[in-house]
Amino acid sequence: MTSYSDLGKKFTNEIIEPISEASIARELMYVNTSITNMSLDSIQAFKFSELSDATIMRALPDGSIFRDGLRSETHTVLINSIVEGFDIKKQEFDNYMNNGIAIDSSIAKLAGEKVAERENEMAIVGWKPDDGTFMTEGMLNLTNSSSDATSYDFGTYGNAIKKVVSAKNTLLTAGVQAKAYNLSLNPTQYSELEGSESTAGVMELEQVMKRLNPIGGIAGQIRHSSDISANYGLLTPVDPIGKFFEMNQTWAPNAEITTDPIAGETSPIYGKVFERVGLNFKYPAAICKLSGI
């Protein structure tokens, strides 16, 4: 094992926490790690499909019962690289290799945070190359998603509660039922909600949390992101098994340290943090875009 790979493994272990802390996408979406392949360009995934109603009968089930067929409709999930590069001074690396002097891992941690930030942007907004067309759609720009445009300005006490109830009803009408829901907001609307208090001293945020978690608990959370434009938001089901949507991770966030072989002994030390992920929206109607807030 070379000192380059040693340092890469060290950095990989140390970027896990900062990526986790910066990631909103991984809090909103189940991360499917069943496939590990750095070079995989895309995967074919099944779309969401309900089965027919179960049957109640007095007798033991036999060969005459109705059986649903296997899901056959698929769609393509594109796998994208998210990467942030950095470099390390050669003298610092030589001290690490020859004298065992630890290298400050801050730069790798910052690179990990940058990867998480772009991952959030891709999941919430989407990603489009230079031609301006979305190659990967995010939650806010998702084709065939649900929407709730009923005007409820979060600057007025009670409106956030009304908006969440309205959006939950929109999802129920679309056939989406969940034990808890996540509310994602622009920082402006989040601040309005956080400071919203009735004349009786009731904090609206606490009341909204009750609507997000109707059976109790704290699975459903309120988050804020600058990737969401002002006056917009998202209501999504807490989906711990990826029934409605998931992130397909085919290569986990990884730190890699290399040199330029052409430059030889005088080469700078290059580093990068990268991952390979795709967004699988099996049932776009499970994403409810909020406006008028």
Question: Quick check: is 57 in a domain?
Answer: no
What mean pLDDT comes out for the span 85-90?
Answer: 89
Alpha carbons 126 and 133: distance in angstroms, whole number: 10
Alpha carbons 86 and 18: distance in angstroms, whole number: 16
Question: Quick check: is 56 in a domain?
Answer: no
Alpha carbons 76 and 87: distance in angstroms, whole number: 35
pLDDT of 53? 80
Please say if the pLDDT value at position 197 is more than 50: yes
**Contact between 290 and 232 (Cβ < 8 Å):** yes
pLDDT of 101? 77
pLDDT of 141? 96
Please say if the pLDDT value at position 146 is more than 90: yes
pLDDT of 171? 98
Query: What DSSP letter does each residue of 63-120 carry, written as one string?
Result: TTS--PPPP--EEEEE-EEEEEEEEE-HHHHHHHHHH-PPPPTHHHHHHHHHHHHHHH
Q: How sure is the predictor about 1, in pLDDT bands with cuts at 50, 70 and 90?
A: very low
Question: Quick check: is 88 in a domain?
Answer: yes
Q: What CATH number does residue 129 fall under?
A: 3.30.2320.10
pLDDT of 71? 60
**Contact between 138 and 279 (Cβ < 8 Å):** yes
Least confident of 7-21, 73-87, 258-272: 258-272
The proportion of the chain whose per-residue pLDDT surpasses 90, expressed as a percent, equals: 75
Question: Quick check: is 205 in a domain?
Answer: yes
What mean pLDDT comes out for the span 234-257?
Answer: 96
pLDDT in tens, 99-122: 777 788 899 999 999 999 999 999
pLDDT of 2? 59
pLDDT in tens, 30-58: 999 999 999 999 999 988 877 678 888 87
pLDDT of 7? 87
pLDDT of 208? 98
Residue 117 CA: distances (Å) to CA of 39, 120, 122, 157, 200: 23, 5, 9, 32, 39
Q: How sure is the predictor about 21, in pLDDT bands with cuts at 50, 70 and 90?
A: very high
Structure tokens at 266: 């005088």
pLDDT in tens, 268-280: 889 999 999 999 9
Domain extent, residue 10, equals 3-47+73-291
β-sheet bridge partners, residue 247 = 31, 279
Residue 262 CA: distances (Å) to CA of 94, 139, 176: 19, 44, 56
Question: Quick check: is 38 in a domain?
Answer: yes
Nearest Cα neighbor of 43 from 52, 53, 30, 34 is 34
DSSP at 279 = E
Calculate the average pLDDT of the chain. 92
Question: Quick check: is 55 in a domain?
Answer: no
Question: Quick check: is 150 in a domain?
Answer: yes
pTM of the model: 0.89
How many domains is the chain partitioned into structurally?
Answer: 1
Which residue has better confidence, 124 or 92?
124
pLDDT of 140? 97
Question: Quick check: is 250 in a domain?
Answer: yes
